[in-house]
């Protein structure tokens, strides 16, 4: 944008001056033209009337003076009368005629005069514009009776010269007046345009430079002056508004910073509280599981001793109570972990066939025992999921366990089918069904349709609440459809995997290994909790296993025979080092693959903690004796089949989320 | 500067007759025959009346102007009779022979001293008197027509006219060969 400086040229088409000047010039020219034209017409008419009046007066005077001469036919007297026209230079010829008679007397050039009254032409003078001559005849009358005619012939050059000279002068004066008006108009325009241009510059400065300070603009005390003063007032208001806005903005930024600091502090506090909660949960997890673990092992050991029937019954009650306590603890801790966002899915391809096979292996015997059918349905072709296998297994266990719990007759059908780029997993049952009004609340915590007495043997009502949370973590959503008295179906949709992963690294268990005798097996038990250690030694001893107990890693490593043991059961959280590091040390000392399990009561573990387990098999306290023995048998059988394989170290993704 | 050329006597006679008697008659007269001296004299009498303003009480009837003549020539009498009925402004001219109504003539035309004297003896009290005999203005007449001379062809006795409260037009006076004050 060009900067406008000064009043500007009248030829600057961008300036308002140009159209205004054009308007003024046009108006002046039009006005002048109209005035001059009118003046020319009026002057012309005046000249015509003047000519007519002059000639008529002269003719009438001559006629009056010559009337007696005409009446008496006195040509001499008439001729003397006509000599009065010497006072009229424009009259070049004149004559007196008796009425209808021949010329009585003449004046001037006789050749210009008709010989008699019959050929005089028009009575009124024919005065056309710039005509060189005209003629006039006036009657000579006495007592209202015409007795003759005075005929005049006049040259009009003088009149027209005067007329044209007057017109030229008028045009000249008009042009001078127009020029003067134009000059005055331009001076007047400067009074308007200059302030307007300065206003435009100030407005542009305000917009471009954000400079809203009022500026002195010269203007008269008129509408322009009002506009300038109002504009400056507006600038001042805008400036004040901007400063106020800036002040508000600064205050707002200060408040935001303050609130951010407060929020940061609150977040830090919350994180500290969360860490405290985590530490509490970890402590609770570890400290509660230790005695429970001991209780279960003692109970197992006790059950293998000779007891009376009454003692046996009490022991069974004790076992059930202990198991229930452990399950309740696990469920509560699972909910805490899920709500705390501590569970991160680790997606990997999973064959649906393997998933459903595992479910069948686990639940088909239970269904059969209750007189129910257990069926699988899935397409023959390989259907793959991309999900966290451990979490999904737990979720499916919950659903199937629920289905078994509420089905008295009929059966369970677990199916899978492809739905676009997802896989739909379904658990059908022919159970009691769920009323429509309960189909949404069943996913709430502690909601149980048929357990108003809160019988803990029927569960805590947390199974579906955990299912809902796990499904969300896996990127799906569990829905329920049901007809009361006919059965229910729970569905879960998960992303399908593109390529099948045929080797999941988990070889199926060798059924023969599960029954392998463990007599004489030498097992090192490294456990700092005396009660837990004692319970393990008693329980393992009952199975014919020879145990060597150590309270610390240092004590174990100090033993000369520790590297030659057949199996190691090691508490993860030892006072001097963690169990994983201890096993690594033993492995290095032995110079061969070793078989071992890590026991831990810490269920509240993040990925970092889980990574520290290394590749050692981990079992979570409380551990059933049978589970522990099965693991020992599995590893011993595996190592005998492939002693040299590195796979003797049982890889595991830590299936710590168990079914409830 | 040129002036009007001197016209012949015949032309003058025709012109006066044309002016007085009107276009058709005059045009026809000019084309076919010149007017007679009697007709010219009658026309001059009528012209004198045109340039003469009579007192308001000159006539009993303001709408009429009576011309009385006392002539011996029948042609002259006929020519004067021909003026009867002509208009002078809003007044109509009547022409009568002297003797029928001698007490109400505004104009008297006579052609001889004898008849002029006789008229004076009858004391008709005529305001305007006109005659064509030589010496008329000397005998107390007002306008004397002289057809024999060129140029101005009548004399006026202005003193007599003023005495009779007549107002003669200056233009008429300008044309007179001689004006007697």
Strands A133-142 and A145-155: antiparallel
DSSP 3-state of A141 = strand
The count of other CB atoms within 10 Å of the CB of residue A585 is 16
For the ranges A266-275, A494-503, A514-523, B95-104, the lowest mean pLDDT is seen at A494-503
- Is residue A57 classed as helix, strand or coil in its secondary structure? helix
Identify which of A547, A621, A540 has the alpha carbon closest to the alpha carbon of residue A304.
A540
Q: What is the share, in percent, of chain B residues with pLDDT greater than 70?
A: 74
Distance, in Å, from the CA atom of B176 to the CA atom of A72, rounded to the nearest integer, reads 10
Other CB atoms within 10 Å distance of the CB of residue A151? 26
Residue B28 is predicted with a pLDDT of: 39
**Orientation angle between helical segments B9-21 and B37-50, nearest 10 degrees:** 50
Substitution target in A61, A73, A78, A100 with the highest count of B β-carbons within 10 Å is A73
CA A43 to chain centre: 80
Place of tokens 């006597």: B9
**Residue A316 CB coordination number (10 Å):** 12
Q: What is the average per-residue pLDDT within A165-174?
A: 90
Q: Burial of B35 by CB count in 10 Å (0-12 exposed, 13-18 middle, 19+ buried)?
A: buried
pLDDT digits (tens, 9 = 90+) for A501-543: 444 433 444 444 455 678 889 999 999 888 888 888 888 888 8
Q: How far is A181 from chain B (nearest CA, A)?
A: 55
Nearest CA in chain B to A62: B171
Tell me if B2 and A143 make a contact (CB, 8 A cut-off): no
Tell if the CB–CB gap between B2 and A108 is shorter than 8 Å: yes
Least Cα separation, residue A36 to chain B (angstroms): 42
What confidence tens digit (pLDDT) does each residue in B23-36 have?
434 433 344 456 78
Report the alpha-carbon distance of residue B49 to residue A264 in Å, rounded: 141
Q: Which of A172-176, A616-620, B78-82 has the lowest mean pLDDT?
A: A616-620
CB contact under 8 A, A82 and B4: yes
Tell me, what's the pLDDT at A305?
A: 87
> For residue A116, what is the DSSP state?
B
Q: Percent of chain A scored above 90 by pLDDT?
A: 20
The confidence band for B111, taking pLDDT boundaries of 50, 70 and 90, is very high
The answer to whether A144 contacts B18, with C-beta atoms less than 8 Å apart, is: no
Res B79: pLDDT: 94
Q: Which of A72, A77, A142 sits opposite B16 (nearest CB)?
A: A72
pLDDT at residue A227 is higher than 50: yes
Size of interface A-B (CB pairs under 8 A): 93
β-strand B154-157 against B178-180: which pairing, if any? parallel
Q: Does A116 touch chain B (CB under 8 A)?
A: no
Where does A217-308 have alpha helices with state H?
A: 223-303
* Cα angle: A511, vertex A514, A516; to 5 degrees: 115
B4:A68 CB<8 A = no
| Contact status of A139 with chain B (Cβ, < 8 Å) | no
Query: What are A122-132's pLDDT values in tens digits?
Result: 777 788 888 88
Q: Touching check for A73 and chain B: CB below 8 Å?
A: yes
Instruction: Reply yes or no on whether the pLDDT at B176 is more than 80.
Output: yes
Task: Report residue A654's pLDDT band, with 50, 70 and 90 as the boundaries.
Answer: very low
A118 in contact with chain B, both atoms CB, cutoff 8 A = no
Q: According to the model, what pLDDT value does residue A578 have?
A: 87
CA B100, chain centre distance (Å) = 20
Mutate to test the interface with A, among B31, B87, B171 (most CBs of A within 10 A): B171
> Which of B1, B5, B15, B167 to mutate: most A Cβ within 10 Å?
B15
Q: Which sign does the torsion angle of CA B96, B102, B105, B111 carry?
A: positive
What pLDDT is recorded for position B152? Answer: 55
Confidence (pLDDT) at A612: 67
CB contact under 8 A, B169 and A144: no
Cα torsion A379, A381, A385, A389 to 10°: value is 80
For residues B67 and B128, what is the distance between their CA atoms, to the nearest angstrom? Answer: 9
Search chain A and give the residue with CA nearest B3.
Answer: A79
DSSP reduced 3-state for B58: coil
Residues of B in contact with A101 (CB under 8 A): 15, 18-19, 26, 30
**DSSP symbol at B4:** P
Overall average pLDDT of the A484-504 stretch: 76
On whether the CB atoms of residues B31 and A85 are closer than 8 A, the answer is: no
To the nearest whole Å, the CA of A107 is away from the closest chain B CA by 6
HSE-CB at A414 with a 13 A cutoff on CA atoms is 28
- Chain B closest CA to A41's CA: distance in Å? 37
| For B154, nearest residue in chain A (alpha carbons) | A72
CA A443 to CA A312: how far, in whole Å? 39
CB contact under 8 A, A99 and B18: yes
Do the Cβ atoms of B176 and B155 come closer than 8 Å?
Answer: yes
Q: Are B87 and A145 in contact (CB under 8 A)?
A: yes
B145 contacts on A by Cβ (under 8 Å): none
Nearest chain A residue to B13 by CA: give it.
A73
Across the interface, do A142 and B18 touch by the CB < 8 Å criterion? no
Q: In A, which residues are within 8 Å of B152 by CB distance? A: 74
Asked if the model's pLDDT at residue A345 lies above 50, the reply is: yes
Cβ(A231)–Cβ(A202) under 8 Å? Answer: yes
Cα–Cα distance, B7 to A655 (Å, whole number): 166
Q: For residue A457, what pLDDT band results from cuts at 50, 70 and 90?
A: low
Q: Using the predicted structure, report yes or no on whether residue A331 has a pLDDT greater than 90.
A: no
Identify the band that residue A640 occupies on the pLDDT scale cut at 50, 70 and 90: low
More confident residue, A220 or A577: A577
List the Cα angle A420/A424/A425 in 5-degree steps: 160
C-alpha count within 13 angstroms, C-beta hemisphere, residue A174 = 19
What is the pLDDT confidence band of residue B136, given thresholds at 50, 70 and 90?
very high
| The predicted structure's pLDDT at residue A607 | 55
Cα B26 to Cα B11: distance, rounded to the nearest angstrom: 12
- What does each C-alpha distance from A179 to A7, A39, A490, A551, B7 come to in angstroms? 20, 19, 100, 122, 67
Residue A550 has pLDDT above 50, yes or no: yes
Chain B residues whose CB is inside 8 A of the A147 CB are 19, 50
Give yes or no for residue A477 having a pLDDT over 70.
yes
What's the pLDDT at A643? 42
In this predicted structure, what is the pLDDT of residue A9? 61
| Alpha carbon distances (Å) from A141 to A1, A71, A74, B18, B88 | 87, 9, 16, 14, 11
Encode pLDDT of A71-97 as tens digits: 888 888 899 999 999 999 999 999 999
Helix, coil or strand: residue B65: strand
Which residues on chain B are in Cβ contact (under 8 Å) with A108? 1-2
Of B18, B87, B172, the CB nearest to A101: B18
Residues of A whose CB is below 8 A from B7: 73, 75
DSSP code for B82: T
The mean pLDDT of chain A is: 82
> CB distance B175–A79 less than 8 Å?
no
Task: Collect all residues of chain B within an 8 Å Cβ-Cβ radius of residue A118.
Answer: none
pLDDT classification of B150: cutoffs 50, 70, 90: low
Residue A651 has pLDDT above 60, yes or no: no
Please name the residue of chain B whose CA is at the shortest distance from the CA of residue A78: B4
Instruction: Decide if A83 touches B, using CB distance below 8 A.
Output: yes
Inter-chain contact A72–B2, Cβ cutoff 8 Å?
no
Q: Answer yes or no: is pLDDT of A252 > 90.
A: yes
- Of A341-345, A441-445, A516-520, the range with the highest mean pLDDT is A441-445
Count of helices and strands (H, E) across chain B:
7, 10
Whether residue A622 is preceded by a cis peptide bond, meaning omega within 30 degrees of 0, is yes
Task: Give me the DSSP letters along A359-422.
Answer: HHHHHHHHHHHTT-EEEEE--SS--EEEE-HHHHHHHHHHHHHHHHHT-SSSEEEEEEEEETTE
> A350: which DSSP letter?
E
For the beta carbon of residue B181, count every other beta carbon within 10 angstroms: 7
Q: What is the mean pLDDT of residues A384-392?
A: 87
Instruction: For residues A483-498, give the mean pLDDT.
Output: 88
Separation in Å, CA of B74 to nearest CA in chain A? 24
Query: Are A73 and B26 an interchain contact pair (Cβ–Cβ within 8 Å)?
Result: no
* Residue among A432, A435, A415, A431 nearest A423 (CA): A415
Euclidean distance between CA atoms B64 and B105, whole angstroms: 10
CA A383 – CA A284 distance, rounded (Å): 41
Residues A97 and A118: their CA atoms lie apart, in Å, by: 10
Separation in Å, CA of B122 to nearest CA in chain A: 31
């Amino acid at each position: 944008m060009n900067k406008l400086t000064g009043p500007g040229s009248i030829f600057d088409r961008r300036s308002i001056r140009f159209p205004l000047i054009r308007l003024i010039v046009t108006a002046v020219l039009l006005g002048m033209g109209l005035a001059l034209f009118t003046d020319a017409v009026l002057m012309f008419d005046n000249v015509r009337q003047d000519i007519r009046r002059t000639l008529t007066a002269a003719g009438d005077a001559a006629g009056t003076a010559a009337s007696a001469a005409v009446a008496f036919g006195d040509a001499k007297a008439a001729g003397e009368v006509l000599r009065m026209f010497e006072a009229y230079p424009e009259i070049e010829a004149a004559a007196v005629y008796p009425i209808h008679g021949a010329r009585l007397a003449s004046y001037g050039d006789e050749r210009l005069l008709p010989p008699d009254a019959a050929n005089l032409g028009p009575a009124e003078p024919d005065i056309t514009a710039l005509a060189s001559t005209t003629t006039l005849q006036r009657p000579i009358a006495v007592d209202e009776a015409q007795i003759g005619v005075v005929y005049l012939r006049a040259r009009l050059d003088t009149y027209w010269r005067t007329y044209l000279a007057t017109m030229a002068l008028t045009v000249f004066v008009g042009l001078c007046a127009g020029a003067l008006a134009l000059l005055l108009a331009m001076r007047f325009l400067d009074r308007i345009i200059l302030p307007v241009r300065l206003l435009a510059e100030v407005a542009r400065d305000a917009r471009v430079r954000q400079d809203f300070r009022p500026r002195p603009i010269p203007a008269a005390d008129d509408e322009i002056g009002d506009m300038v003063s109002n504009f400056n007032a507006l600038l001042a208001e805008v400036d004040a508004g901007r400063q106020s806005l800036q002040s508000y903005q600064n205050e707002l930024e200060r408040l935001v910073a303050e609130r951010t600091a407060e929020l940061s502090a609150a977040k830090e506090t919350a994180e500290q509280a969360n860490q405290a909660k985590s530490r509490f949960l970890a402590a609770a997890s570890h400290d509660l599981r230790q005695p429970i673990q001991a209780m279960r092992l003692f109970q197992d050991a006790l059950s293998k001793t000779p007891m009376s029937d009454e003692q046996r019954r009490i022991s069974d009650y004790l076992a059930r109570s202990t198991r229930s306590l452990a399950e309740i603890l696990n469920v509560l801790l699972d909910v805490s972990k899920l709500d705390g966002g501590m569970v991160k899915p680790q997606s990997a391809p999973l064959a649906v066939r393997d998933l459903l096979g595992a479910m069948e292996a686990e639940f088909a015997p239970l269904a059969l025992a209750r007189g129910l059918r257990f069926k699988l349905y899935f397409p023959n072709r390989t259907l793959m999921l991309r999900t966290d296998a451990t979490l999904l297994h737990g979720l499916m266990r919950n659903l199937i366990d629920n289905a078994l719990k509420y089905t008295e007759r009929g059966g369970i059908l677990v199916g899978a089918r492809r739905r676009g780029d997802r896989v739909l997993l379904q658990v059908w049952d022919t159970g009691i069904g769920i009323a429509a009004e309960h189909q949404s609340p069943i996913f709430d915590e502690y909601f149980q349709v048929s357990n108003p007495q809160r019988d803990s043997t029927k569960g805590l009502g947390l199974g579906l609440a955990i299912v809902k949370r796990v499904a969300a973590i896996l990127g799906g959503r569990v829905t329920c459809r049901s007809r009361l008295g006919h059965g229910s179906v729970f569905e879960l949709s998960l992303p399908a995997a593109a390529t099948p992963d045929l080797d999941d690294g988990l070889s199926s268990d060798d059924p023969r290994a599960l029954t392998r005798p463990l007599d004489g097996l030498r097992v090192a038990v490294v456990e700092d909790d005396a009660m837990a250690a004692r319970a393990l030694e008693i329980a393992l001893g009952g199975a014919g296993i020879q145990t060597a107990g150590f309270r610390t890693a240092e004590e174990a490593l100090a033993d000369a025979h520790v590297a030659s043991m057949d199996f190691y059961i090691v508490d993860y959280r030892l006072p001097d080092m963690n169990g994983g590091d201890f096993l690594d040390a033993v492995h290095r000392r032995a110079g061969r693959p070793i078989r071992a399990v890590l026991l831990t009561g810490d269920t509240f573990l993040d990925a970092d903690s889980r990574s520290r387990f290394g590749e050692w098999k981990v079992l979570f306290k409380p551990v059933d004796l049978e589970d522990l023995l099965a693991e020992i048998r599995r590893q011993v059988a595996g190592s005998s089949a492939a002693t040299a394989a590195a796979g003797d170290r049982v890889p595991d993704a830590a299936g710590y989320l168990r079914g409830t | 500067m040129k002036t009007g050329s001197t016209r012949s006597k015949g032309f003058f006679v025709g012109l006066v007759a044309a002016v007085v008697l009107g276009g058709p008659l005059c045009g026809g007269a000019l084309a076919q025959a010149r007017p007679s001296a009697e007709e010219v004299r009658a026309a001059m009498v009528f012209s004198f009346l045109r340039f003469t303003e009579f007192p308001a009480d000159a006539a009993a009837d303001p709408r009429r102007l009576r011309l009385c003549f006392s002539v011996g020539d029948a042609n002259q009498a006929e020519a004067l009779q021909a003026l009867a009925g002509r208009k002078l402004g809003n007044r109509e001219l009547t022409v009568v022979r002297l003797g029928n109504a001698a007490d109400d003539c505004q104009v008297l035309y006579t052609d001889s001293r004898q008849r002029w004297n006789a008229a004076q003896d009858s004391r008709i009290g005529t305001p305007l008197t006109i005659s064509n005999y030589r010496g008329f203005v000397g005998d107390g007449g007002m306008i004397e027509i002289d057809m024999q001379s060129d140029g101005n062809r009548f004399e006026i006795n202005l003193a007599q006219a003023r005495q009779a409260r007549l107002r003669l037009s200056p233009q008429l006076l300008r044309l007179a060969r001689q004006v007697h004050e």
